[in-house]
Amino acid sequence: MNRKWSAAALAGALTLAGCSSDLPSAPAPGGTSESAKTKSEFFDETEFERQRRFRVAKAVGLDSQDGAAKPWEQALEPQLVDTAKYAKPGGGYHLCFSNASVDNPWRQVGFKTMKEEVKLHPEITNFTVLDAEAKDDKQISDIQSLASQGCSALIVSPNTTATLTPAVEAACATGVPVIVFDRGVKTSCPVTFIHPIGGFAFGADGAEFLEDEVKPGGKVLALRILPGVDVLEQRWAAANEIFSGSQVKVVGVEFTNGDAAKTKSIVNEYIQREGKIDGVWMDAGATAVAAVEAFQDAGAAIPPFVGEDQQDFLRMWADEKMTAIAPTYPTYQWRTPIIAALRVLGGKQVPREWVLPQPKVTQDTLGDFIKQDMPPLHYAMCGCEAMPGYPAPWK
């Protein structure tokens, strides 16, 4: 092989590296507390305050206020809208679902929960699902193709907000009730938009916990997955806001790409660099166990940790007697769109924006959420334990 060929090959390799890389093209906020103090462009004071209010507000059931409703049937400050025009009594419903993807454990647990929810309702005779495999263009054509399949109601979990908006508007125009959940769209045409409180609340839950648990001047390491994803940016924006008003010192903000090995190396390097880390904040718990292991392997004490409600982290938390908290983005929200669809088809009112409670796992409730026989990446807040098929489909 001559040198020209190898040069051409290398150029190709570099181009490919550029294309396939998930890393940010712009330099990320550096690992200093100074840069951490600048406000994120994703920070929205009004929305932050609204989500803070939701965290302490009491969620209510839609039909009775007596608290008999389960969390996935409850709503925060609901503004009910009339759905009589969609009413289609008699059952025999054909529900359609355009799913963004099932490419991470959170979506897998959620989707399984949704399928089990469908089984609970005999009036649903047909459930058609199209998986967009995380591609906007595929989801646009999925929604179009569902429009011609005689759906009684269309459920959409959008892959991205802006790009999917016209497709959802077009679906609304066909007269089918459209229900959007998880990520939103920029149109008010869907009957209801279902989501938990949100990213600001998630980020704040963890940051406030560290504010309490880490002594003044203590060093906090913040680990994030990727920049630029609005849900994740909101989590960090809220945490950043809280940290900058507190006595703790953020010694680093690093991106892990969701990779356990990279996470472990980063944490290991920070332990070596700082001598001691007094708290770890994470925007998602997928690599929390790897981060904890870095402390174990370095022979350092495990500091207060912010994780998520995945079984591997909860077990580690209990086994190592850690000081920790697990904010959740509850997977039980996948049950709600089915419930909402049946309410709409039954002519019952639904909230225009259906905000679900977003609980966190704390030391006091940890024992309730550990399920030793469930897979390590199972999300505890699935609201699925009492479902008839449990636990087989989630394994």
Partner 1 sequence: MRARPRLADGTGPVLVVLLVLLVALAFAGPAYAEPSGYLALLKRAAPLVVLAVGQYFVIASGGFDLSVGSLVTAEVVVAARLVDGDDANTWWVIASLLGCGLLVGLVNGLITTKLLVPSFIVTLGMLLVLDGAVFLWSGGAPRGALSPSFRVLGRGSADVGVLGQVPWSVVVLLVVVVAAAWFMRSGTGRMLLAVGDNENVVRLAGGRVDRLRLLAFVLSALLASVAAILLAGFAGVSAQVGEGLEFRAITAVVLGGVLLGGGRGSVVAAAAGALSLEALFSLLNLLGVSGALESAVQGVIIIAAVAYAAHGAGLRRMLRRPVPHPA
Residues contributing to the site for partner 1 (CB under 8 A): 1-3, 5-7, 9-10, 12-14, 16-17, 20-24, 27-32, 101-105, 107-108, 254-255, 257-266, 268-273, 275, 286-287, 289-290, 293, 297-298, 312, 375-377
Q: How far is the CB of 393 from partner 1 (least distance, A)?
A: 13
- Whether the link from the prior residue into 89 is cis, omega within 30° of 0, is no
Least distance (Å) from partner 1 to the CB of residue 23? 5
Residue 94: what residue type?
Answer: H
Cα separation of the two ends of the chain: 50
Nearer to partner 1, 247 or 272 (CB): 272
Cβ closer to partner 1: 248 or 316?
316
Query: Based on CB atoms, which residue is closest to partner 1, 100 or 124?
Result: 100
> Residue 233 Cβ, how far from partner 1 at the closest point, in Å?
15
CB-side neighbour CA atoms (13 Å) of 243:
35
Short-list 247, 201, 205, CA closest to 44: 201
Q: In angstroms, rounded to a whole number, what is the distance separating the alpha carbons of residues 348 and 192?
A: 12
The CB-of-207 to partner 1 minimum distance in angstroms stands at: 21
In 3D, which of 378, 377, 25, 50 has the Cα closest to residue 234? 50
Min separation Cβ 250 and partner 1, Å:
13
Of 344, 381, 357, the closest CA to residue 77 belongs to 357
Residue 153 vs 380, nearer CB to partner 1: 380
CA 308, CA 324: separation in Å to the nearest integer?
10
Q: What one-character-per-residue DSSP string does 334-359 give?
A: GTHHHHHHHHHHTT--EESEEEEP--
257: left (phi over 0), alpha (psi -120 to 50) or beta: left
Identify the H or E element spanning 50: helix 45-56
- Least distance from partner 1 to the Cβ atom of residue 183, Å: 17
**Min separation Cβ 166 and partner 1, Å:** 27
